[in-house]
A and B are shown apart, each in its own frame.
Chain A
Amino acid sequence: DTEVTQTPKHLVMGMTNKKSLKCEQHMGHRAMYWYKQKAKKPPELMFVYSYEKLSINESVPSRFSPECPNSSLLNLHLHALQPEDSALYLCASSQPTVLEQFFGPGTRLTVL
């Protein structure tokens, strides 16, 4: 299996909702990433997990809470988001010693 899967594909939520984005890979990669991508912009790094431990947090607001329950799964818990948080959320994975990252298709998030 050489792909990264993300669910859901699309998500619409209100500012008071709590939701979670899920990411899964079965390539044996031990580094996983969350990126945020606004329209017509490059991906912006949010979080990096290496060997299931958070190694980079790019000063992301606490309304975004990442979780890495095991080496194959990465979650992003969302709570009290703002409309400006609407974006494509991309998950990626790699071997920790290799910079080539494999991206999932993303979750298109709309916050109303």
Chain B
Amino acid sequence: GESVGLHLPTLSVQEGDNSIINCAYSNSASDYFIWYKQESGKGPQFIIDIRSNMDKRQGQRVTVLLNKTVKHLSLQIAATQPGDSAVYFCAENGKDTGRRALTFGSGTRLQVQP
């Protein structure tokens, strides 16, 4: 069936480096994508979103890139800080399912080494 998946379950980076978290999606009808950050013991926190009519969107220290040709989404975090350590989920809307609901990918744990 359709799914949203991530390439790497754990990513370890040095403080100050840039981080790139990848996500592959298979539902070509999805037109909305969102990244959430979940710290231990907390609920998911919105980071950034992007619609399918865009290739790139920037926020504060974060950039999301969308490649619809290969159905790939990435989250770039500039100058990674210890506070960025968390699990990151991508999610997509599965537009053709007729439901207004998000489907989450399996998550990537980002570990920032001081």
Chain A contact residues, CB within 8 Å of chain B: 4, 31, 33, 40-45, 48, 50, 55-56, 90, 92, 96, 99-106
Contacts and interface: CB of A to CB of B under 8 A. Distances in A.
B31 to A, nearest CB: 10
A99 B93 contact: yes
A103 B44 CA distance: 6
B93 A42 contact: no
Instruction: Decide if the interface of chain B is mainly helix, strand, loop or mixed.
Output: loop
A42 B99 contact: no
Given A42-B107, A100-B34, A56 B101 contact: yes
Interface residues of B, number: 21
Nearest to B104: A42
B89 A100 contact: no
Given A42-B106, A99-B34, 16 more contacts: A33-B101, A42-B104, A44-B104, A45-B102, A48-B99, A55-B100, A56-B101, A90-B43, A99-B32, A99-B49, A99-B100, A102-B46, A103-B36, A103-B43, A104-B43, A105-B42
Interface of B: 32, 34, 36, 41-46, 49, 89, 93, 99-107
A42 B89 contact: yes
18 contacts: A42-B89, A42-B104, A42-B105, A45-B101, A45-B102, A48-B101, A50-B100, A90-B44, A96-B100, A99-B49, A99-B102, A100-B34, A100-B49, A103-B43, A103-B44, A103-B45, A104-B43, A106-B43
A37 to B, nearest CB: 9
A31 B102 CA distance: 13
